[in-house]
């Protein structure tokens, strides 16, 4: 009877230890880290159709993180609507694709110290005569497209007073709405704005006349694992101090929005 009680106690003790195990311990033991990325984010985590390789600042930084941890790296395709469930349901260890730190997202996932920060920009067509500058956007008769699940949706819902907000299901849909003329502009950020200018011949970038809505970009993890979180924070501190962050940002032409301090 005593032996049985000891065995049961040991069993529950092992369960307790397993529950307390950090994700970092698991990563180091299995020598592999799973990183969620959105493979359509130009300059951040973009799948180059020509080479079929992921490129961008957070792809490069994920490689540096894996190198620092001395583990293999596995990329997991995600998106802005999906990344929270991907993190909380254990499909990846960390999401690394310049995720805007917003209050609603902080309620569900834990953000790291930011490494980038972007204002909001607008994309219209070169032949749209209604939109010549930023002040032309929030006017009667203007249709502003945003992608569902991005931070642009709640921001523009709050800021627009006169223009009509159109929420579409995907990033591609907002481009199609503007290119077809069904919407006048879509809202985006610095990296994706660069993508539109580089990859299309019809897009025109509209910059805000002054700071409109700065958003810090970071990575996200699940709550409840300080050991893993602190190791990621150390990595971020290291790459800011040793210059890797700035050099990788510069390589990906994102140094204007890099956040060193």
Q: Do residue 138 and residue 193 come from a single domain?
A: yes
Maximum distance among all Cα pairs of the chain, rounded to whole angstroms: 86
Question: Would you state the pLDDT for residue 15?
Answer: 39
Q: Are residues 45 and 110 in the same domain?
A: yes
- Say if residue 28 is in the same domain as residue 92: yes
SS3 71: coil
pLDDT of residue 171: 83
Tens-digit pLDDT profile for residues 60-70: 999 999 999 99
User: Is position 237 within any domain?
Assistant: yes
Residues 111 and 136 placed together within one structural domain of the fold: no
Q: Please determine, for residue 1, whether its predicted confidence score (pLDDT) is greater than 80.
A: no
In this prediction the pTM is 0.85
Domain match, 113 and 219 both? yes
Would you say the C-alpha torsion 148, 150, 154, 160 has a positive or negative sign? negative
Cα 120–Cα 37–Cα 97 angle in degrees, nearest 5 = 35
190 in a domain, yes or no?
A: yes
Number of domains observed in the structure of the chain: 2
Task: Report if residue 9 sits inside a domain.
Answer: no
d(CA 143, CA 13) in angstroms, rounded, equals 60
In a shared domain, residues 98 and 158: no
Q: Are residues 132 and 112 in the same domain?
A: no
Residue 167 lies in a domain: yes
In whole angstroms, how large is the CA radius of gyration of the chain? 21
pLDDT tens profile 185-239: 999 999 999 989 988 999 999 999 999 999 999 999 999 999 999 999 999 999 9
pLDDT at 149 over 70: yes
Mean pLDDT of 19-33: 91
Residue 239, in any domain of the structure: yes
Is 3 domain-assigned?
Answer: no
Q: Are residue 162 and residue 198 in the same domain, yes or no?
A: yes
Q: Which of 45, 38, 84 is nearest to 62 (CA)?
A: 45
pLDDT at 5 over 90: no
Is 35 in the same domain as 150? Answer: no
Percent of the residues in the chain that have a pLDDT greater than 90, as a whole number: 88
12 pLDDT band, cuts 50/70/90, is: very low
The helix (H) or strand (E) run that includes residue 73 is strand 72-77
Q: What angle do CA 148, 213, 186 make, to 5 degrees?
A: 40
Q: What is the pLDDT of residue 193?
A: 93
CA 9 to chain centre: 44
* Domain membership of residue 26 as a residue range: 22-117+215-257
Is the domain of 106 the same as that of 142? no
CATH (domain of 181): 3.40.190.10
| End residue of a domain, out of 179, 206, 233 | 206
Which of 132 and 172 is assigned the larger pLDDT?
132
Q: Can you tell me the mean pLDDT for 116-130? A: 97
b/e map 199-215, b = 16+ CB within 10 Å: eeeebbebeeeeeebeb
Instruction: Please state, in angstroms and rounded to a whole number, the distance separating the CA atoms of residues 174 and 188.
Output: 10
Distance CA 224, CA 213 (A): 30
In the prediction, which pLDDT does 170 show?
86
pLDDT at 20: 62
CA dihedral 169, 146, 160, 258 (to 10 degrees): 140
Using the predicted structure, report yes or no on whether residue 50 has a pLDDT greater than 80: yes
| Same domain assignment for residues 190 and 136 | yes
124 lies in the same domain as 97: no
């Amino acid at each position: 009877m005593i032996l049985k009680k000891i065995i049961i106690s040991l069993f529950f003790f092992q369960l307790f230890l397993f529950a307390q195990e950090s994700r970092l311990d698991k990563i180091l033991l299995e020598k592999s880290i799973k990183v969620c990325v959105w493979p359509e984010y130009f300059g951040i985590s973009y799948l180059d159709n020509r080479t079929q390789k992921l490129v961008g600042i957070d792809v490069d930084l994920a490689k540096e993180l894996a190198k620092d941890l001395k583990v293999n790296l596995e990329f997991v395709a995600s998106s802005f609507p999906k990344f929270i469930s991907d993190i909380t349901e254990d499909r990846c260890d960390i999401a690394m694709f310049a995720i805007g730190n917003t209050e609603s997202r902080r309620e569900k996932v834990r953000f790291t110290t930011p490494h980038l920060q972007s204002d909001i920009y607008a994309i219209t067509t070169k032949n749209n005569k209604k939109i010549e500058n930023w002040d032309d956007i929030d006017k009667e008769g203007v249709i502003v497209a945003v992608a569902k699940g991005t931070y642009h949706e709640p921001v523009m819902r709050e800021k627009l007073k006169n223009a009509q907000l159109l929420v579409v299901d995907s990033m591609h849909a907002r481009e199609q709405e503007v290119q077809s003329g069904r919407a006048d502009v879509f809202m985006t950020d610095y990296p994706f704005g660069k993508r539109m200018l580089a990859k299309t011949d019809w897009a025109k970038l509209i910059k805000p006349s002054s700071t409109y809505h700065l958003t810090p970009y970071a990575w996200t993890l699940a709550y409840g694992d300080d050991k893993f979180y602190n190791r990621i924070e150390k990595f971020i501190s290291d790459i800011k101090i040793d210059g890797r962050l700035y050099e990788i940002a510069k390589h990906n032409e994102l140094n204007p929005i890099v956040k060193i301090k």
